[in-house]
Copies of this chain bind each other. A is one copy, B any other.
Amino acid sequence: MVITITAFDRSPDGGKGLARDTRVRWALEETGQPYDVRLVSFRALKEPAHLALHPFGQIPTYEDGDLTLFETGSIVFHIAGRHAGLLPQDANARARAITWMFAAVNTVEPPILEFVTAKFFERDKPWYEARLPFTAINVRSRMQQLSTRLGDADWLDGAFSAGDLMMVSVLLRMRSSGILDEYANLAAYVARGEARPAYKRAFAAQLAINTRQS
């Protein structure tokens, strides 16, 4: 029984690797798990068949035998818990790595998503130009705190973990704005993530879908 995940048939980012299936692909590649992908159109996301898998009508989902999961953080955690390579064996180190997973999605990603989605969904609103710098303040505040904690370490807590996988993925969203590059150690941290062979395979796989001839 092979794992099946879902991904956009056409990602809104055109293959920059920012759609969340890339995070799951990366975790599967780090742990050496083969997987199939089922592509879903934007229209099909909100249809009953997909909503049965994912109540919020998003990608990715994860199916393995009689287990169906949604929510990227949960899927990455499930993969990391079943296969070596993404979480330390030591109980305390493992708890700290999981802490960084939650910090990525609940502390660092929310202001970043607010900034990024404003650029996407509020560009035509009368408040857009005035409000965007205000939004960026919250992003920079979090990134400065993260930069201070990371210091000159390679990864957030010892060896590369699922916490780094999630944090690098979240920070990648800020590259095109130029804000990531304001924090040299965070930019280098993201580059270390992207240089991992497992990331490269995950990125190439999603790019191939988004650049194929239809």
Contact = CB atoms under 8 A, between A and B. Distances in A.
A149 B107 CA distance: 26
Given A122-B134, A134-B122, A103 B71 contact: yes
Contact of A78 (B56, B95, B148): B95
A195 to B, nearest CB: 24
A55 interface: yes
Contacts of A99: 69-71, 74-75
Contacts of A58: 107
A200 to B, nearest CB: 25
Interface string A92-121: 100110110111011101100110000000
A95 B110 contact: no
B66 A103 contact: no
Interface residues of A, number: 43
B134 A71 contact: no
B103 A74 contact: yes
A71 B71 CA distance: 18
A103 B69 contact: no
A75 B101 CA distance: 12
Given A92-B67, A131-B125, A131-B131, A98 B72 contact: no
A92 B69 CA distance: 9
Contacts of A98: 74, 77-78
Contacts of A158: none
A107 B74 contact: no
A125 B58 CA distance: 33
